[in-house]
Chains A and B, each alone.
Chain A
């Protein structure tokens, strides 16, 4: 059985300066309640790893607006003008990574690999200062694994064993992030006693803490 805790308690484990990966594609499948609590507790100097920075008034975007992020590793910031503004002002260190590469870097960490080789970005500025390798006549860029202290993820239904299932397009980066952080906190839309094993997308072993949305 996993620890079922309040959002307040779960987020209080995160110290200033920690690295945090946060699931979601724009607002879909984002652990909004956990992010709201990060804003409330005003954790500072965080490294955030996320697909995007949504919008200024939505989940991850609010962490940017509230200037809680020191370093951002992401694939797209175009939907949140505040991210670009802080980046150009030198207040926010932004590392842009192609979405597919970002996912594979995280996956490499979670699956115990020393990195991945990708054709994405060959012949572009992304190739600069990176190792490349020629495999069977094709050039690839070497990308290192990427992990974090915490992963904040979303699940539509979570059972007491930490198994997670999803509805619709909410899976996105939640699944891969669950494998690549020291501590994984899942926000459950609904907590159930036990999921049908056929429905489980993230096996319970990856999850450390469960925060239930309806209880808060």
Chain B
């Protein structure tokens, strides 16, 4: 349900310190290409049997890239463990996902109330979450729920989820409308302090370590200098820097 608000927010997000030099260059990718690259890469983080909660928007697409033979269980904060495909034909409005979409319950699924949903999420029972952000910083803090005085969609279940999930993956466009999103310190109100483990964008993959961001993988379309120019935080380059695929 954050999709609409998120879109509006991204429209309104104001400049951090730097703007993205790649925006409007020949390296600029379409929204669809970005979505595919990011979602495909994020899906590789899951292991057999993982229970995963996906955020709204780009992160929802991650489910499409989990290999057929891998059993990953998707949890939805409104009370469904085992989210299946979108409903087709006769819609039953009594089964939805957290974005309000009508979905099927997969074999082995179960329904429960919000209290149980947050026992799973805040209580440390979710293996991984993939969600978007307005800003992420080198400490692993993220901001995703408001721009003071402009757009205030609210945090929904995101704060609890990020605090509780074993692995927090931010999956997003590297920059938004040419504005830098990966920063030294978030300037927007935080969703959570130091909870992000990994940042996946269409350009690269960062892991958040104790000493800050580490560049682990890079999309071969881009150079390390491109990443430096479009990232507002210092980062270390992993000795074993790999091509993102």
Contact = CB atoms under 8 A, between A and B. Distances in A.
Interface in B179-198: 189-194
Interface of B: 1-2, 4-6, 76-80, 92-96, 98, 100, 105, 111-115, 118, 121-122, 141, 149, 151-160, 163-164, 189-194
A25 interface: yes
A51 B149 CA distance: 22
A169 B95 contact: yes
B113 A120 contact: no
Nearest to A127: B193
B114 A28 contact: no
A87 interface: yes
A171 B152 contact: no
B2 A121 contact: no
A123 B77 contact: no
A10 B67 CA distance: 52
B75 to A, nearest CB: 12
Contacts of A176: 113-115
Contact of B193 (A79, A87, A123, A167): A123
- Chain A interface bracket (under 10, 10 to 19, 20 to 34, 35 or more): 35 or more
Contact of A169 (B111, B163, B192): B111
A121 B163 CA distance: 8
Contacts of B112: 171
B99 to A, nearest CB: 9
A119 interface: yes
Given A27-B93, A29-B94, A100-B121, A124 B192 contact: yes
A76 B2 CA distance: 8
Interface in A154-210: 156, 166-176, 201
Q: Which 9 residue pairs of A and B lie closest in terms of their CB atoms, listed nearest first? A: A123-B193, A78-B153, A78-B5, A100-B160, A100-B118, A168-B94, A168-B95, A171-B113, A76-B154
Given A87-B152, A120-B122, A172 B100 contact: no
B86 to A, nearest CB: 14
Contacts of A120: 122, 159-160, 163
A25 B79 contact: yes
B113 A172 contact: yes
A94 B159 CA distance: 18
Contacts of A84: 151-153
B90 to A, nearest CB: 14
A122 B112 CA distance: 27
Nearest to A139: B193
A121 B159 contact: yes
